[in-house]
Structure 1
Amino acid sequence: VPYFSWKYSHRRHHSNTGSLEKDEVFVPKPKAQLPWYSGYLNNPLGRFLTMLVTLTLGWPLYLAFNVSGHHYDRFASHFDPYGPIYSDRERLQIFVSDAGVLGMGCLLLQLARAWSLGWVARVYGAPLLVVNGFLVLITYLQHTHPALPHYDKSEWDWLRGALATVDRDYGVLNRVFHNITDTHVAHHLFSTMPHYHAMEATRAVRPILGEYYQFDGTPVYKAMWREAKECLYVEPDEGTKGGSGGGVFWYRNKF
């Protein structure tokens, strides 16, 4: 992971969560902006292949090519210090992150020469795939749910965006993942809070938020399939300000 590169883009995600114009990751598209082949993937086989690619290649594709990220007018990459993701004062640290990734790549190359490419793939590559897969799955399910709205600039504000996230239950894995899975709402409300206070904070804010607190205890494998089926694009809520022209947007799946 390019440390500073993701640090800055993730900070912008926290500053703009739920905004269709400014959020940095898992930004849903209106139906009219979907690629032409989307309708052909709206079936069990298509969903399976989409999720397979997302869980295996989604993280490196996001870092390298900004796939599923904020739309920029030109090429954007977490490895490009002069790309549109970063401001001038951040560019030096992007070079530092790139140097770290390059250094790790050189180390892996030396290990492959000493122990074989297969050994590196087993000891480093396979665990990395698992970590990347869970990272994408967890963040996808935290920000993708039929009950989560997105907003355009006429309706968005920071608090609305922070509450447009959902806590999930991963069973015993909640503890393994330091409860990032079931305390994500609190994480967005208090993003500088140490993770070891997240459970305490969640218990405190849950009764205060009431119906505005989102939790879904659906088993993860069922939730993943449901969201892949139902959350394909967003359309405006006809009952909100602006009608079909904007405002509050909800996930839809009809082609």
Structure 2
Amino acid sequence: MQLNLVELNSPSEEKSLNSRPSELPFTLQQLKSAIPDYCFEPSPGKSLFYFFLDISIIGLLYGMAFFFDSWWLWPVFCLMQGTMFWALFVVGHDCGHGSFSRHKWLNNLIGHLSHTPILVPFHGWRISHRTHHQNTGNIDTDESWYPVTETKYQSMSWWEKLLRFEVLLFVYPLYLFRRSPDREAGSHFLPDSPLFKPSEKWDVITSTICWVLMVGFLACLTYQFGWLFLLKYYLGPYVVFVVWLDLVTFLHHTEPDIPWYRGKDWYFLKGALSTIDRDYGLFNNIHHNIGTHVAHHIFLSMPHYHLKTATEAIKPILGDYYRASNQSIWQEYWRSYRSCHFVPDTGAMVYHRSKNEITAD
């Protein structure tokens, strides 16, 4: 189940993670040495090209929508524009990892310009996403799409199961306000949330202010032009964007054949390999190869446009530890949707089980 990222921001951090005892037949340094050095160097010019390309396409789609002004074409517009919202999110995702450029101010600027229009608080998301990458594959400390235990599953209320397992492709906005189950409640908008350190207060406040201004702008448009205008030109594409975000994240972290770890059996490199590369067909280039996720989790500060090269370089070393799927995305979603509901209460390395496999009392 492929997906996302620890942050190796310094050689000392990388050395510390690489020195952890491991039964893996390779080390982090061996993987890094197999990849061309240029793959680790972001190009501000190339990164900005993708940002402005996405913005230009979004602007073009809005121009076409205003020109034709047709409800008959509205579903097509929503699908196309929502997909571009998702592509823009991925650009901001690079900013959050510091893989957009080596300039913090540029990462923060483009991160806000990418995420604020689609109602994502950049710094709030960046920080919780960092936690996810630092703990990928760890049942107890991962932040995103971690599995619940069998006992937790049995004790969940009907509405918790509804949100978690039935309408999961629409829950991202709720996660921003409430976080995930089994974790201390926390909002991505409040600086005193347990998601954040005191030193991150002003980063969180800055992004929350940007988010509030965007909501205010949408409210002004609604007041001026009406609810149908908001639905037609923003809410429709926004829903498609949310579905993309939840679908991709779910597929990269929820897979029957991917292990999860507890306690001392977990460490960064092993957890980083608990993800899978997915093939999104014609969408691969549109959303900046986000499906190339294994290499991304191992080397989070690598720009998206070098991930395919890095993947080919490390595949011979990873061997069977590299996981990829070329099946239909919806076929894979349906398989995980039906078979991934909880993990056993005990065990150092565990796998998802279906609700039909609940242990009899």
- Fold shared by both chains (TM-score > 0.5): yes
- 1:113 is the counterpart of 2:223: yes
Q: Deviations over 1:69-112 (max 9, x none)?
A: x612xx21111210111111112211111101100011001111
2-structure distance, mates of 1:153, 1:6: 26
Q: Which residue pairs with 1:223 in the alignment?
A: 332
Distance in structure 2 (CA, Å) of the matches to 1:50 and 1:29:
11
Instruction: Measure, in 2, the Cα distance between the counterparts of 1:38 and 1:145.
Output: 24
| SS of residue in 2 equivalent to 1:24 | coil
Amino acid in the other structure paired with 1:10: H
- Residue equivalent to 1:6: 125
Q: Is the contact made by 1:112 and 1:120 (CA closer than 8 Å) also made in structure 2?
A: yes
Return the letter of the residue paired with 1:198: L
Secondary structure, aligned partner of 2:140: coil
Q: Deviations over 1:141-181 (max 9, x none)?
A: 00111111111112000001100001111111111111101
Give, in whole Å, the separation in 2 of the partners of 1:137 and 1:226. Answer: 13
Give distance in 2, aligned partners of 1:99 and 1:39: 35
Where 2:141 maps in the other structure, the secondary structure is coil
Distance 1:201 1:78 in 2: 32
Aligned counterpart for 2:293 among listed residues 154, 169, 184: 184
Q: Which of 192, 209, 215 lines up with 2:318 in the alignment?
A: 209
1:101-129 deviations in Å (ceiling 9; x for gaps): 10001100111112212111111111111
The SS at the match of 1:210 is: helix
Kept after mapping to 1: 8 A contact 2:143/2:180: no
User: What SS does the corresponding residue of 2:351 show, helix, strand or coil?
Assistant: strand
Q: 1:159 is matched with which residue?
A: 269
Q: Which residue of the other structure, out of 214, 235, 242, is the alignment partner of 2:344?
A: 235
1:129 equivalent to 2:239? Answer yes
The 2-side partners of 1:37 and 1:120 are apart by 35
Unaligned stretches of 5+ in structure 1?
237-244
**Structure 1 residue ranges (4+ consecutive) displaced by more than 6 angstroms after TM superposition:** 38-42
CA RMSD of aligned residues (A): 2.2
TM-score, length-scaled by structure 2: 0.62
Kept in 2, the 8 Å contact 1:154–1:246? The answer is no
2:150 aligned to 14, 28, 31, which one?
31
What SS class does the counterpart of residue 350 from structure 2 fall into? strand
1:85 aligned partner? 195
After superposition, the Cα gap between the structure-2 partners of 1:41 and 1:102, relative to the gap in structure 1 and judged at 3 Å, is closer
* Cα distance, 1:138–1:120 mapped onto 2, change above 3 Å: same
Retained in 1: the 8 A contact 2:294–2:322? yes
Structure 2 stretches lacking a partner, 5+ long: 1-119
Cα distance, 1:40–1:94 mapped onto 2, change above 3 Å: closer
Residue matched to 1:65: 178
